[in-house]
Amino acid sequence: MNLFILRHASAGSPRANPLLDLKRPIDKDGKTQCLQLAHVLNALNLNFDLVVSSPLKRAQQTAQLVATETGYEQKLLISNALAPAATFAQFQRLLRDSSTSENILVVGHNPNLTQFLGQLLGVGANAETSGTPRVRLRKGSLARVNLQRGSAVLQSLIDPRVVRALYTTSIKSSRRKTSRK
């Protein structure tokens, strides 16, 4: 199974009221991040068998935009295992329940997505003291983890700045610029 872990796209500043923060949508930059990421994923010929999102609005919007732009035609699966208060045990249960799918995209939040990724890779909570590098997921970052027979291998980690650079270079014309004076 190939697990793609995506932190939701840019959604502005958190709201002071927690109930309002649950409904905070992605902003203009977030929409751009989603479209650029989908463009890069399409260039890599990646398709998803299952797309799972946190119940929060910003994660659902991120998942829906990326899924739609990459040709995913099924309904999004909404799971509390990706909510900000979710535990690693809930996340593992989600992975077990989804084990029949080959390529799975999960969209959630920090800090739990980073912790889940670290635990999958065997990076413990004491990463700073053990000398193991920490994984950082910025908003709009995508990690690809290969889960084969219980072991997890990080295949790639794409930062939104890298996505922007790949997108920019892929849409430029291959024709040389010539001056017409």
Amino acid 176: pLDDT = 55
Element (H, E) at 120: helix 112-121
Q: What is the pLDDT of residue 179?
A: 58
pLDDT given for residue 127 in this prediction: 44
Cβ neighbours of residue 104 closer than 8 Å, sequence gap 6 or more: 1, 2, 3, 4, 48, 49, 50, 51, 52, 95, 98
Q: Can you name the CATH fold of 2-8+21-169?
A: Rossmann fold (3.40.50)
Where b means 16+ CB within 10 Å and e means fewer, 62-84 reads: bbbbbbebbebeeebbebebbbb
Average pLDDT per 10 consecutive residues for the chain, totaling 181 residues: 92 72 84 92 93 94 94 94 94 94 94 89 57 72 88 89 86 58 54
CA-nearest of 2, 69, 5 to 34 is: 69
User: For residue 133, what pLDDT is reported?
Assistant: 46
Report pLDDT for 181. Answer: 54
Side chain identity, residue 159: D
